[in-house]
Structure 1
């Protein structure tokens, strides 16, 4: 399944651990985007976060299927961490008051951007590997990279549109 002409062969232990790390991160990401959806419930941004949560859950499922298709197994330790994270995640560790305002709201949005950026790095890494390992579908990986870019833009838009309300007081009038 690797490209015999390239001389490269997959280092299964390393690749398996890397993908498992990203699966753990994806599970965390789904929980955090769910928390953001609840934070922004009733606002014009609720649907944005509902859509992002759904997309990221789908990507997590696709990553899990890829791991299984490659014949890798989840680390029992990381699986236990994911379960513990699910319990902890219900406490809202980034934005415990579930408010979109203030510094915790800003930090939550920045964290979500970081999560999506890390996921994009995964897809870019696998795209680089696809030149040497035919088990990866380059066109699907490019679609995932493009989706991550759109997701980052969506979170950035919320952050940029809501930042003034978090950090500025009153309205600045032209000519003031």
Structure 2
């Protein structure tokens, strides 16, 4: 991977991590099930830790995390709040379900990014393969927990 492409790829994931961190924090505050919200807040802490590791990787490769990319990512998260949920004014129970799906999708994309970065930088001494292995493992664990929360909320919302 040449540096221009590597840096562009990392900036793309920086934007996504900004959107994801904002989404996790918002869902952790707004989810109607307080136990689910607590789990999401714990995941939000981990997501922010992962984002910090991405920042370190970006800097290790000679780039700087883009403020424009971060702002764009957060704006995309804000725009993503406006989705059909069967209610015009009030929050729908489907919102709790859709938001967990979006969180799971975000972490799945994050894991795919770590996997590609791991494969593409095998011979790049600036990137620690063991760090990436741990980030891939951690994302898998986060996905499993989000799947469990998604099924739990889905049974309540749809099965009710």
Aligned twin of 2:2: 11
Which protein is bigger by CA-based radius of gyration? 1
- State the alpha-carbon separation in 2 of the partners of residues 27 and 97 from structure 1: 27
| Residues 38 and 98 in structure 1, CA contact (< 8 A), matched pair in contact too | no
Per mean C-alpha deviation after superposition, the further-off stretch among 151-160 and 72-81 is 72-81
Matched, 1:46 2:46: no
Matched, 1:117 2:108: yes
Among 108, 121, 128, the alignment partner of 2:119 is 128
Moved over 6 A (4+): none
Matched, 1:70 2:61: yes
TM-score by length of 2: 0.84
Return closer, same or farther for 1:141/1:29 CA change in 2, 3 Å cut-off.
same
Gaps of 5+ in 1: 1-9, 170-176
Q: Size of the alignment, in residue pairs? A: 156
Among 128, 135, 145, the alignment partner of 1:154 is 145
| Residues 28 and 85 in structure 1, CA contact (< 8 A), matched pair in contact too | yes
The Cα of 1:133 is off from its aligned counterpart by 1.5
The structure whose residues are more often helix, as a share, is: 2
| Residues 35 and 92 in structure 1, CA contact (< 8 A), matched pair in contact too | no
Gaps of 5+ in 2: none
RMSD of aligned alpha carbons: 2.5
